[in-house]
Amino acid sequence: MIMLMLLTLFVLAAVNMTSINFKVMGNEQGRNESIAGTQQAIEQLISTDFTASPAPVTTNIDINGDGNTDYVAKIATPTCLNSIPIKTTDPQLNITNPNDVACFASSASSTSGTVPAVSGGNSLCNNTQWDVKGSVTDARTGSSVNVHQGIGVRVAVGTAC
């Protein structure tokens, strides 16, 4: 009888631990999905020209691809942390790269299409650093996550920052 009682206690303890482990794993999965959803919304935002007019964005996220919204991600207005002029002599600029040509000259310049004569002067582009904050609240559990993403973007001189 004592052995039967001990065996029953062991079985109840095992069932209880299994139940707790399932809850922990479910919460961890929900947290990871929330982070992935927030990151997906941030990536959608930064794939656009968000520097032209930074604004908050709300994005519906379908994590599992079933066509239903699983999470709603709220992205706050991106914050420009700093803007640093790029020197014309900086090795990251390449006059033969079509994406870099605009940094060397503009149609408004009297030296349009040529490299500026001032050696070591600033180009017409700046490197900017942005902080994008996103958050998701899980409707099922009420838990929420916040994600900060740092982003570096090359912009034309005069872009608000």
> How high is the pLDDT of residue 118?
44
Helix (H) or strand (E) holding 122: strand 122-137
> How high is the pLDDT of residue 112?
42
DSSP string, 9-61: HHHHHHHHHHHHHHHHHHHHHHHHHHHHHHHHHHHHHHTS-TTSS---EEEEE
> How high is the pLDDT of residue 115?
45
Give the whole-angstrom CA distance, residue 6 versus residue 80.
Answer: 64
> How high is the pLDDT of residue 140?
73
Give the whole-angstrom CA distance, residue 119 versus residue 117.
Answer: 6
Give the whole-angstrom CA distance, residue 66 versus residue 71.
Answer: 13
Residue at 81: amino acid letter: L
Q: Considering the entire predicted model, what is its pTM? A: 0.71
Q: What are the extents of the domains in the chain? A: 2-156
> How high is the pLDDT of residue 147?
94
What phi and psi values does residue 12 have, to the nearest 5 degrees? Answer: -65, -40
> How high is the pLDDT of residue 152?
92
> How high is the pLDDT of residue 29?
86
> How high is the pLDDT of residue 105?
67
> How high is the pLDDT of residue 139?
73
Give the whole-angstrom CA distance, residue 22 versus residue 147.
Answer: 26
Rounded CA Rg of the chain: 26
> How high is the pLDDT of residue 45?
93
Residue spans of the chain under pLDDT 50: 107-119
